[in-house]
Amino acid sequence: MGDRARSLIARQWRPQWICHSCQQRQPQYRPLATSSLTPAEQNKPYYVTTPIFYVNAAPHVGHMYTMILTDVLKRWQQMKNRKAILLTGTDEHGMKVQRAAAKAGVEPQEFCDKGAEVFKELAGSIDISNDIFMRTSDKKHKEAVEYAWQMLEQRGYIYESKHEGWYSVSDETFYPQGQVQLIVDPPTGRKIMASIETGKEVEWTSERNYHFRLSAFREDLLEFYKQNPKFIVPQTRMNEIVRQVSDGLEDLSISRPVERLTWGVRVPTDPSQTMYVWLDALLNYATGVGYPFTPGSEAASGWPADVHVVGKDIIRFHCIYWPAFLMALDLPLPKQVLTTAHWTLGKQKMSKSVGNVVNPIFALERFGTDVMRWYLVHDGGITDDADYDNIHIVEKYKKGLQGGIGNLTSRVLKGRGWNLRRAVESFARPHLDPAHFLNETDTLGRDTYNHLQVLPTEANNLMDDLLPNKALQRIMDSIYTANAYVQHAAPWSLVKMRQAEEQSLSANKKRIEQLDRDAHRIVFVTGETLRMVGIMLQPFMPVKAKELLDMLGVVEERRNWEWCAVGKDDGYGVSMKDLGKRGDGQLFPMLINQW
């Protein structure tokens, strides 16, 4: 923490309460800045999180999109042989959940149990490889949150005061006067006060509660942003957060009287107050991997997070409040926050209250898991919103999957007059010299080969920049390029010429060999495209990528990043599937009832 933060600490009261499970492992907190990484930190698992989702409403496509993006980031690291951890889960406390449970006529815990199962089922249905499913109603989490409160209070970052302001139950936050406005609610025609940022209704409240000295961290936060200019992706949202903090920060109300809010974590030293849901919820990222940490164990557990993936509507909580809480607790800050745009329907953000949500289960049943994973990442917005439409999925499927990858695979594996295994044996070798097999006159072939050579680096750079949509689009570009090359080079024509030459009474052996070599050279370039694309598609489409690599005959131990280079693998080319068997030879069949 900075000197400015320390100078604002007024209370030096040391609370007596310590949760029993934490009592024996109070950490000696390290400063935020470290001069060098310890061996444990160098071997730290890659740790990526989704936001934890409110259980008060059923999931929609936006939730599915966030889960898939996070899973893609994790699997990409695993493909590169790095241990990785993924956390997802449910946010189960707060006024919103309390009211939803009351409306449903059930106890909050029962309501949350049912809601959590829905999100667990969604994660399973889209093949999310999460290691942790956090629930904020879990006893272990609640005890750790109580411990964090004690640390904040002990260090003087919490004080009691009267609070007046506009509170949004939907957003679970207070808004200052400058961030609310009077609007006409479209569904009802009522005039209401609403958040300018989210459009959600706010209500005036006046109460005594506890506050966190957020204002003390303005300079520390600005310095952190300056030292970590890529902390928030995309840059436009980084700029917005810097502007908000530069304009000044108000202290944050972090509790509600229990008569208003019963469902949540009670303040450990004052049971008449319930903790602010965002303090409780944000701490899940740390409690999920073992907070309070045994001294020196943070890195081994995965902390700090490498990437938090969140929607653009909750960046203030994750990029201002959360870093400030961590600074106050002397915990290392997350490395990056990927903020996504929204999925819209009819150009309007999906929302249960508006009634324009897309049920992800219906979409999965219609198109299948891997198709939805591919489409949502490919067309999903990071900077700009993306509009959802089933027609778009059908069109992209036909172009990119059926007509792109599927068509190229059929051309390579089912073409008559050539053999992929022969092509691989003829040309595959590490550090392949294009002069070894590319015709000087084959400009398109050289371009295709050159694009393929740099594809892994370009795709990996985009993934490092937290742009999985751009990385997937670049991978797909290589498929379109290879298809255009095959169409232009027409190896089937070379086969016909070779066959005609073989049947000629004056057959020229050298001519026959050259025609055969030229045809297999084309097949090798396209086969390598499919093999390398198959490796890189594993994080995006785990099942279909495996099927593609099986069809190409790529052995399991050669499906990681080490083998994603032109000419690296000389052992594939004999399919592990019966390509003549119905269904086995068609990677992306025609959609039933296309519309």
Residue 524 has pLDDT above 60, yes or no: yes
How far is it, in rounded angstroms, from Cα 164 to Cα 486?
A: 69
Beta bridge partners of 166: 175, 204
Residue 249 and residue 218 in contact, taking contact as beta carbons nearer than 8 Å: yes
Of 93-97, 178-182, 205-209, 584-588, the range with the highest mean pLDDT is: 93-97
- Domain contains 245: no
CATH number of the structural domain spanning residue 469: 1.10.730.10
**Residues 287-342 pLDDT 10s:** 999 999 998 889 999 999 999 999 999 999 999 999 999 999 999 999 999 999 99
Strand ranges for 77-127 from DSSP E: 84-91
State residue 285's pLDDT score.
98
The per-residue pLDDT of the chain, averaged, comes to 88
How far is it, in rounded angstroms, from Cα 220 to Cα 324?
A: 8
**Residues 359-393 pLDDT 10s:** 878 889 889 999 999 999 999 999 999 999 889 99
**pLDDT band for position 30 (cuts 50, 70, 90):** very low
Write the single-letter amino acid at 277: V
State residue 51's pLDDT score.
97
State residue 38's pLDDT score.
57
Residue 97 and residue 408 in contact, taking contact as beta carbons nearer than 8 Å: no
- Domain contains 498: yes
- Domain contains 550: yes
- Domain contains 82: no
* pLDDT over 70 percentage in the chain: 88
Q: Enumerate residues 6+ apart whose C-beta is below 8 A from 415.
A: 491, 492, 523
Average pLDDT over residues 24-29: 36
- Domain contains 96: no
Higher per-residue pLDDT: 180 or 587? 587
- Domain contains 111: no
Residue 567 has pLDDT above 50, yes or no: yes
**pLDDT band for position 193 (cuts 50, 70, 90):** confident
Beta strand pairing status for 180-184 and 266-267? unpaired
Distance between first and last Cα of the chain: 59
State residue 40's pLDDT score.
59
How far is it, in rounded angstroms, from Cα 507 to Cα 583?
A: 40
- Domain contains 123: no
Average pLDDT over residues 11-19: 38
DSSP assignment string, 1-43: --HHHHHT-----------TTTGGG---PPPS--SS--HHHHT
How far is it, in rounded angstroms, from Cα 112 to Cα 90?
A: 9
Residue 2 has pLDDT above 90, yes or no: no
How far is it, in rounded angstroms, from Cα 413 to Cα 428?
A: 17
DSSP assignment string, 367-407: H-HHHHHHHHHHH--SSS-EE--HHHHHHHIIIIIIIIIIH
What total number of domains does the chain contain? Answer: 1
Can you give the residue range of the structural domain that contains 425? 389-563
**Residues 125-182 pLDDT 10s:** 999 999 999 999 999 999 999 999 999 999 999 999 987 778 777 766 777 777 778 8
- Domain contains 513: yes
